[in-house]
Amino acid sequence: ALLDSLDFIVLVLVGVATLAFFTKGKLWAKEPETDPYAGGLGSQGFGSTTSFGSFGGNSNKTRDITKKLEQTGKNVIIFYGSQTGTAEDYANRLSKEATQRYGLKSMTADLEDYDYENLNSLGDDIVVGFVMATYGEGEPTDNAVNFYEFINDDSSEWAESDEPSADPDSPLSSLNYVIFGLGNNTYEHYNEIGRNLDKRLKKLGAKRIGDYGEGDDGQGTMEEDYLAWKDDLFSAWKEAKGLDEHEAKYEPSVKISETGETASSEDSSSVAEPDAEAMSVYLGEPNKKILRGEIKGPYNAGNPFLANVSETRELFHDPKRSCIHVEFDVGTNVKYTTGDHLALHIQNSDEEVERFLKVIGLWDKRHNVIKAKPIDPTYKPSFPVPTTYDTVVRYYLEINGAVSRQLLAFIAPFAPTETAKKEALRLGSDKNAFADEVAKHYTNIAHVLSKLSGGEPWTNVPFSFLVESLPHLIPRYYSISSSSLVDKSKISITAVVESLEAPEYAIKGVATNLLLDMKIKKDGVDPSKSKDPQAVHYELSGPRGKFGGHKLPVHIRRSNFKLPSDPKKPIIMIGPGTGLAPFRAFVMERAKQAESGTDVGQQLLFFGCRNPNEDFIYKEQWAGIEKELGDKFTMVTAFSRVDPVQKVYVQHRMQEYAKQINDLMQQGAYFYVCGDASRMAREVQATLAKILSDQRGIPLSSAEQLVKSLKVQNVYQEDVW
Ligand code: FAD
C-alpha cells in the first residue's frame, strides 16, 4: 500500500534523526566559518589563508581524509597551515611538482577542512605533507588551530585507537609524511609550529620522508630555502618509494575556455541596461549578491561592505613620500571596536593590468567572457565565473609581487622564442643569476617576461597556467585609527604609500597606490602636479560602475589589541611610524571618556619618525589632545634623522623614561606595541625587560621572563606587521 503523506514525512524525519545520531551532525555541519581573509597580527609575515578566493568546485565535501583520497584517486595530500596565503602557495607548488614531475596523484587541502581521527589508518602508499606557517608568538595559523590541538592531545581518540595496524607505542606508525615550516627569524618563536609538529609526528611513530625543511622570511630567503629543501626531498622520496622522474609537463587542473561573448565595465549595455545574461558575468563583483545588486548584510570577508570613502587627507609634509588618512562611512552596516583591523579588498592598477595582458597576448581579448571547468576535482577556483580575462587579472591575481625563480623554469616551455626559453631556463635554474638579474631589480612577472622575449608576447602560455601559478590577490589589512566610542559610523585608517624606486621601474604597492589614486581624483589635482607624477591609475568606478569612484569593499577583522576595560588603568603605548594608528584611536577614546566625566588613567605614548617637519603624523591633533587630557597624557617623540650623528629611536627614549615606565607598570599599566614586526617590536620588548631589570634590581633573565608572562596575561599586547 502507498504511504500517505503524513507517514512519509514521519519516516523522513525519523531517518534524518537517525542519520544525525550516527554522524554526530557532521553530514550537514557547515564548514567552519573562520574569517578566511584573517590577517596577520604578528604573523611572521604570513597572514590570511587564500582559500578566501574559492568559488564553487570541490562539490563532494567530506571531512574524512581516507574517503577524500578514495573519491579522488589521490595518493598524496599536502595540508597547509596558512595565514596570508604564502604557505598555501608553497603547498600548491609542491603538490603540482609531485604530480607533474613524479607522476604522483597529489592534492592540497586546508587543515581546517578535515578531521584527523583516522590519520593512523592511511595506507603505506599514501604520503601526507604539511606546509606550516608560524604565527605571532609561536602560534598555529587560524586554520591550523584545531589540527594542532588535536595532534598534541595525548587523549585523542586515534592516539588510543585499537586499530589492528596501530602500534600502541607509536600510533602513527603507518603515516608517511613530509614537512616544511615557514617563519621569520626576527621573531622569538621562529618556525616553532613546523619544528614542534615534526617532533610530535616523529614521537608518535610517523615516518618522515626527506629532511624537515624550513624557510625564513626574515632574511628574505624563503624561496631559495624552499627550492633547496624540495630538491632534496624529491631525491629522498624517489629512494624511499621508487618514484619515476620525467620531464615536468604542465597538466592543467582547470580548463578555461571562452564563451564567445564579451563583457566589460566600459560597455554601457552591461551598466545601464542590464539584461539577464550580461548581468551573470562577474566583472569584479566580490559575490553573487553584489553582482545581482542585492546589497545586504551581514558583512564579512565573503560579503564585504561597499563603504563610501568620505575623506582622504595627506599627513606627510615630505615632498616625495605620502601617508594618507582615509575615512570610510559605514553607518550602522559594519560594527567595529577600537583596536580592530580594516581589510581593504583591492584591485591591480590599469597600468599593471595592461602590461600583464599585453605580455601574455590577451590585451585584445581582455573583455572576452570565459568560463572555468575543474579537470582535477580537488582544484579550487580562485575567481567566480563566468568572467573576463581583464577581471581575473585586475581583481584576482597578484601580478605585482616579486617573481618566483621556479615559475621562470616552469614557464620556459611556453616561451615565444628559443632565446626567451633558454633565458627563462637559465634564470630558473641559476640561483645567483636570478638574484642578480631579476630579484635585485624588483621586477614583476610582466617585466621579466617582456625582458626575456624582447617584448614579444608570450601567447603560448595557457591562461590556466597563470591562474594556477600566480598567488591570489588578497585584501590588505590596516589598524583602525578611529575610536568606535567617538564615532561608530566612521572608520579611519592611516596608510603609508608604498613605492620602490627600482633601477628600471618604480614598483608600486597595490593597495596604497589605489588609495593615492582615489585621493588625487578626489582633490581634483592635475596628476602631473601631484606628489607622485608617476602615480598609477585604477578602475575606481568598479565593476559596472558599482564603486562610483568613491567606494571600496571592506570588512572588519576583530583583533585582541584592546584598551583595558577599566579606564582608570594606566597605558603605555609604543607606536613609531604608522604604528601610531591604533593609539590615535586609544587616546581619542580616553579623551572622550574624560570629557564625559570618567576618571581616566595615565597615558604615556612613544612616537618615532624621521623628522618633525616631514612625517610627524597627526601633529596638530596631538596638541589639542594634550590640552584636553592635561597631565593624564604625555607624548614622547624620537626623531631618527634630525641629529646627523645619532639616530634616535623609540627604544632610546624609553630608557630615558625608565623610572616612569616602571612606576606605571607597578600600578598595573597595560603595555602596547604597534608597527614594524621585524626589528622594532623585538627591540622594544628587550628594552622593557632591561628597564624592569634595572629599576627593580632583578636579573635580566627574570625580567625577560616577567615580560613574557605579561604577554601571556595580555597585559603586554602587540599589533605588528
Ligand atoms: P604591496 O603591493 O603589498 O607591496 C608590499 C611591498 O612590496 C611594497 O613595499 C612594494 O613596493 C614591494 N613590492 C611589490 N612588488 C615587488 C616586487 N616585484 N619586488 C620587490 N618588492 C615588491 N600599513 C599601514 O600603512 N598602516 C597600518 O595601520 C597598517 N596596519 C596593518 C595591520 C595589520 C594587521 C597588517 C597585517 C598589516 C598592516 N599594514 C599597515 C600593512 C598593510 O597591510 C600593507 O601591507 C601595506 O600597506 C602595503 O600594501 P600595498 O598593497 O600597498 O603593497
Q: What's the pLDDT tens digit per position in 473-513?
A: 999 999 999 999 999 999 999 999 999 887 778 899 999 99
Does one domain contain both 8 and 46?
Answer: no
Does one domain contain both 514 and 603?
Answer: no
Residue in 554, 114, 615, 9 with CA at minimum distance from that of residue 300: 554
CATH (domain of 510) = 2.40.30.10
Active-site residue flag, 719: yes
Phi, psi of 428 (to 5 degrees): -70, -25
313 compared with 186, residue with greater pLDDT: 313
Q: What's the pLDDT tens digit per position in 518-556?
A: 999 999 988 777 888 889 999 999 999 999 999 999 999
Does one domain contain both 169 and 46?
Answer: yes
Residue in 71, 143, 141, 85 with CA at minimum distance from that of residue 114: 143
Specify the amino acid at residue 604.
Answer: L
Does one domain contain both 663 and 553?
Answer: no
Q: What whole-number distance in Å separates Cα of residue 428 and Cα of residue 413?
A: 12
**Arithmetic mean of pLDDT over the chain:** 89
Does one domain contain both 22 and 100?
Answer: no
Fill in the DSSP letter of residue 36.
T
Q: What whole-number distance in Å separates Cα of residue 686 and Cα of residue 403?
A: 35
Q: What is the percent of the chain with per-residue pLDDT over 90, rounded to a whole number?
A: 78
Residue in 169, 178, 177 with CA at minimum distance from that of residue 204: 169
Q: What is the average pLDDT across 206-215?
A: 97
User: In 443-571, where does DSSP find H-type helix?
Assistant: 445-453, 463-469, 510-523
Does one domain contain both 215 and 228?
Answer: yes
Q: What whole-number distance in Å separates Cα of residue 94 and Cα of residue 532?
A: 40
Work out the angle at residue 109's Cα, subtended by the Cα atoms of residues 130 and 27, and round it to the nearest 5 degrees.
Answer: 130
Residues in contact with 543: Cβ distance below 8 Å, sequence separation at least 6, in sequence order: 265, 282, 283, 284, 285, 391
pLDDT at 413: 97
Query: Cα of 498 to ligand 1 centre, how many Å?
Result: 7
Strand 670-675 versus strand 633-639 pairing type: unpaired
Q: Is residue 210 part of a domain?
A: yes
CATH (domain of 71) = 3.40.50.360
CB 213 within 8 Å of CB 179: yes
With H, G, I as helix, E, B as strand and everything else as coil, classify residue 539.
coil
Total domain count, the chain: 4
Beta-bridge partners for 344: 476, 554
**At what angle are helices 445-453 and 418-429 packed, to 10 degrees?**
130
Phi, psi of 601 (to 5 degrees): -80, 175
47 compared with 273, residue with greater pLDDT: 273
Work out the angle at residue 269's Cα, subtended by the Cα atoms of residues 265 and 273, and round it to the nearest 5 degrees.
Answer: 115
Q: What's the pLDDT tens digit per position in 577-613?
A: 999 999 999 999 999 999 999 999 999 999 999 999 9
The set of protein residues with a Cβ atom below 6 angstroms from ligand 1 is: 39-41, 47, 341, 400-402, 442-444, 476-479, 494-496, 498, 500, 507, 509-512, 578, 581, 721
Domain boundary among 559, 581, 599: 559
For residue 132, pLDDT over 90 is answered with yes
User: In 48-159, where does DSSP find H-type helix?
Assistant: 65-72, 86-102, 145-151
Active-site residue flag, 721: yes
Q: Is residue 78 part of a domain?
A: yes
Q: What's the pLDDT tens digit per position in 423-472?
A: 999 999 999 999 999 999 889 999 999 999 999 999 999 999 999 999 99
Q: How confident is the model at residue 278 (pLDDT cuts 50, 70, 90)?
A: low
Active-site residue flag, 270: no
Q: Is residue 376 part of a domain?
A: no
CB 439 within 8 Å of CB 402: yes
Instruction: Give me the domain span that covers residue 163.
Output: 31-241
CB atoms within 10 A of CB 527: 14
Q: Is residue 431 part of a domain?
A: no
Q: How confident is the model at residue 54 (pLDDT cuts 50, 70, 90)?
A: low
Q: What is the average pLDDT across 286-311?
A: 94
- How far lies 234's CA from each of 98, 237, 239, 703, in Å? 8, 5, 8, 46
Catalytic residue among 479, 482, 483, 492: 479
Query: Candidates 447, 479, 497, 560: which one to mutate for ligand 1, based on the most atoms within 8 Å of Cβ?
Result: 479
For residue 44, pLDDT over 60 is answered with no
Torsion angle in degrees (nearest 10) through CA of 78, 83, 85, 90 = -40
Q: What's the pLDDT tens digit per position in 683-708?
A: 999 999 999 999 999 999 999 999 99
With H, G, I as helix, E, B as strand and everything else as coil, classify residue 497.
coil
Q: What whole-number distance in Å separates Cα of residue 453 and Cα of residue 419?
A: 7
Residue in 583, 585, 616, 334 with CA at minimum distance from that of residue 483: 585
pLDDT at 40: 30
CB 407 within 8 Å of CB 78: no
Does one domain contain both 135 and 233?
Answer: yes
For residue 236, pLDDT over 80 is answered with yes
Query: Cα of 515 to ligand 1 centre, how many Å?
Result: 12
Does one domain contain both 26 and 36?
Answer: no
Query: Cα of 579 to ligand 1 centre, how many Å?
Result: 13
Domain boundary among 200, 215, 241: 241
Q: What whole-number distance in Å separates Cα of residue 659 and Cα of residue 692?
A: 9
Q: Is residue 288 part of a domain?
A: no
Q: What is the average pLDDT across 303-315?
A: 97
Sign of CA dihedral 42, 43, 46, 47: negative
For residue 632, pLDDT over 50 is answered with yes
For residue 272, pLDDT over 50 is answered with no
pLDDT at 503: 74
pLDDT at 438: 94
CATH (domain of 607) = 3.40.50.80
679 compared with 346, residue with greater pLDDT: 346
Q: Is residue 414 part of a domain?
A: no
Q: What's the pLDDT tens digit per position in 71-96?
A: 999 999 999 999 888 999 999 999 99
Residue in 474, 669, 397 with CA at minimum distance from that of residue 40: 474
Does one domain contain both 550 and 631?
Answer: no
Residue in 118, 117, 122 with CA at minimum distance from that of residue 156: 117
The length of the chain, given as a count of residues: 721
Does one domain contain both 540 and 624?
Answer: no
For residue 9, pLDDT over 80 is answered with no
Q: What whole-number distance in Å separates Cα of residue 577 and Cα of residue 583?
A: 11
ipTM: 0.99
Q: Is residue 162 part of a domain?
A: yes
Does one domain contain both 116 and 198?
Answer: yes
Phi, psi of 697 (to 5 degrees): 65, 40
With H, G, I as helix, E, B as strand and everything else as coil, classify residue 622.
helix
With H, G, I as helix, E, B as strand and everything else as coil, classify residue 314.
strand
Residue whose CA lies nearest to ligand 1 atom number 1: 509
Query: Candidates 478, 516, 517: which one to mutate for ligand 1, based on the most atoms within 8 Å of Cβ?
Result: 478
| Ligand 1 atom with minimal separation from the 496 CA | 25
Q: Is residue 411 part of a domain?
A: no
Does one domain contain both 192 and 335?
Answer: no
268 compared with 350, residue with greater pLDDT: 350
Domain boundary among 528, 559, 590: 559
